[in-house]
């Protein structure tokens, strides 16, 4: 969405008025701030029209335009930063709230809104009171009001402590945020003196729509891509796994690039990593420095493609949180891809034998054996004398030569006659030779 807004405002540079139609529950802080910067950089007049709702980061975006209109029954506000974990949504602390309040104050000063009311959309600990001075309503934080030497009379509380300011269209107009409650964009254009002028609606392109879909499955694409490439390294030649791996990673990178996250630097890092993997597959045997370096570069490139910064800025705490989340995503994707690759190598690759053109080795080592020089000089049925006690291994003499022999478990005394009952690999199996009876 941030990339779409940046493109849209560039296309609207020659417009006489830009109207932003709002219908959002909010989203990521960094994306919202990019949208705010794009809107405030406009050199032509702009207004926001809340069609249904502008909640959380949507409120921040709505206040960044030069003016605000709301449709009947719509709402705006509640911009406290939150994090969603295993225990559900959790409001973030002062470290996150402070820079957001500063942004709200700046936008309020730009457009003539109450700074205290704007800040109360971010922080629930603020209690806001209102009082009349010279026929005008002034809004002030309760503690600041208490510190006044001469307090105006008849002050009333408009935002209680523990609450976040959320307004409907009527309240927003009463608090001085909304200019008017209007039903359509045509009404908004007319209110801004642009009635009758042809309008052009800018909507997301097909690539931006596809990018949003790709970003929603990006972790899965990374798992498939890394897993397939690792499987390709373990399989001979270059085949279906390499194609699938490159396609999955390429698709994920395409989505990140369209969204404005993956720049040419990230793409170059990933390409170099993939080239090292190709060298490992075709040039170097096994899996060594080139392969490991390639995987590391691919992972670094994927991490950077998930964010629009290299290292988090300490003054922007949401960047640190996003960095940790992205690092966890890449690490989890790598771990899951390794498990997937091991499963493929163990089950799928052997199952493909005979179904995909070979060549393959059909023989196995089940019946293999390697006879020693000793076993080649003796045969089953030959009779000899034990020249050591067989317990069960020992030595026996056959046609004047000593041989290492073993019994099936029986002990045979020295000088007892023995007979060769089997030859198994390098082992000569003997048993006690019973005397012949006439």
* pLDDT tens by residue, 328-357: 888 888 888 878 877 777 766 666 555 555
Is the pTM here over 0.75, yes or no? no
Can you list the positions of beta strands (E) in 221-272?
Answer: none
Whether residue 235 sits in one domain with residue 211: yes
User: Where residue 399 sits, what CATH number does that domain have?
Assistant: 2.40.50.140
Q: Rounded to an integer, what distance in angstroms lies between the CA atom of residue 126 and that of residue 164?
A: 8
Q: Are residues 226 and 315 in the same domain?
A: yes
Please indicate, yes or no, whether residues 426 and 332 belong to a single structural domain of this protein.
no
Long-range contacts of 94-97 (CB under 8 A, 24+ apart): 95/317, 96/29, 96/317, 96/318, 97/122, 97/123
Mean pLDDT for all residues in the chain: 83
**Structural domain boundaries enclosing 224:** 206-352
How many C-beta atoms surround the C-beta of residue 129 within 10 A? 21
Beta strand pairing call for 128-133 and 156-159? antiparallel
Residue 149 lies in a domain: no
In a domain? residue 94: yes
Three-class SS of residue 21?
Answer: strand
Last residue of a domain, one of 287, 320, 352: 352
Residues 380 and 237 in one domain: no
223 is a domain residue: yes
Same domain, 410 and 327: no
Residue 42 structure tokens: 């406009």
Last residue of a domain, one of 297, 317, 352: 352
Q: Does 390 share its domain with 314?
A: no
In a domain, 357, yes or no: no
pLDDT tens digits for range 185-212 = 999 999 999 988 888 999 887 777 777 7
- Summarised one tens digit per residue, pLDDT across range 57-71 is 999 999 999 999 999
Q: Of the candidates 310, 326, 270, which has an alpha carbon nearest to the alpha carbon of residue 294?
A: 270
Has residue 133 been placed in a domain?
no
Task: Indicate whether 167 and 39 sit together in one domain.
Answer: yes
Q: What are phi and psi of 152, to 5 degrees?
A: -65, 150
Whether residue 399 sits in one domain with residue 303: no
* 32-41, 87-96, 277-286, 381-390: segment of lowest average pLDDT: 277-286
Whether the per-residue pLDDT at 118 is higher than 70: the answer is yes
The reply to whether 37 falls in a domain is yes
- Return the residue matching tokens 């959002």: 24
Q: Are residues 305 and 336 in the same domain?
A: yes
Q: Residue 302 pLDDT more than 60?
A: yes
How many angstroms separate the CA atoms of 171 and 159, rounded?
A: 12
pLDDT at position 20 over 90: yes
Asked if residue 360 is part of any domain, the answer here is no
Task: Specify if 145 maps to a domain.
Answer: no
* Helix axes 94-111 and 29-40, enclosed angle (nearest 10): 20
Same domain, 327 and 225: yes
Are 119 and 90 found together in one domain? yes
Q: How many domains does the chain have?
A: 3
384 plus 329 within the same structural domain: no
DSSP state of 345: I
């Amino acid at each position: 969405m941030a990339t779409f807004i940046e493109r849209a405002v560039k296309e609207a540079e020659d417009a006489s008025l830009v109207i932003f139609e709002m219908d959002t529950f909010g989203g990521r802080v960094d994306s919202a701030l990019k949208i705010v910067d794009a809107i405030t950089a406009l050199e032509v007049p702009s207004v926001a029209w809340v069609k249904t709702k502008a909640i959380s980061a949507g409120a921040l975006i709505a206040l960044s335009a030069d003016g605000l209109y709301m449709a009947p029954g719509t709402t705006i506000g509640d911009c406290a930063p939150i994090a969603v974990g295993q225990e559900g949504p959790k409001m973030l602390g002062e470290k996150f709230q402070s820079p957001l309040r500063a942004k709200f104050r700046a936008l309020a000063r730009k457009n003539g809104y109450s700074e205290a009311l704007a800040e109360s959309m971010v922080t629930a600990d603020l209690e806001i009171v209102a009082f009349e001075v010279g026929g005008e309503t002034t809004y002030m934080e309760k503690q600041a009001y208490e510190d006044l030497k001469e307090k105006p009379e008849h002050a009333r509380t408009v935002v209680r402590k523990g609450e976040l300011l959320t307004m409907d269209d009527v309240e927003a107009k009463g608090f001085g945020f909304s200019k008017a409650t209007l039903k359509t964009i045509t009404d908004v254009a007319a209110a801004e003196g642009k009635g009758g002028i042809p309008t052009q609606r800018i909507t997301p392109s097909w690539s931006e729509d596809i990018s949003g879909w790709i970003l929603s499955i990006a972790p899965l694409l990374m798992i498939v891509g890394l897993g397939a490439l690792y499987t390709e390294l373990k399989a001979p030649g270059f085949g279906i796994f390499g194609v699938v791996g490159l396609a999955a990673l390429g698709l994920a990178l395409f989505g990140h690039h369209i969204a404005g996250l993956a720049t040419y630097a990230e793409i170059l890092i990933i390409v170099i990593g993939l080239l090292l993997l190709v060298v490992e597959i075709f040039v170097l045997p096994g899996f060594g420095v080139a392969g490991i370096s390639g995987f590391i570069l691919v992972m670094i490139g994927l991490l950077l493609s998930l964010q629009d910064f290299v290292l988090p800025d300490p003054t922007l705490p949401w960047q640190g949180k996003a960095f940790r989340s992205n690092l966890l995503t890449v690490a989890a994707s790598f771990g899951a891809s390794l498990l997937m690759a091991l499963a493929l190598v163990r089950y799928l690759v052997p199952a493909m034998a005979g179904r995909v053109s070979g060549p393959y080795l059909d023989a196995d080592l089940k019946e293999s054996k390697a006879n020693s020089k000793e076993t080649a000089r003796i045969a089953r049925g030959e009779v000899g004398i034990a020249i050591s006690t067989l317990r069960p291994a020992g030595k026996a003499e056959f046609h004047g030569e000593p041989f290492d022999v073993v019994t099936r478990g029986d002990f045979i005394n020295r000088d007892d006659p023995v007979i060769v009952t089997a030859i198994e690999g390098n082992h000569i199996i003997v048993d006690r030779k019973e005397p012949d009876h006439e």
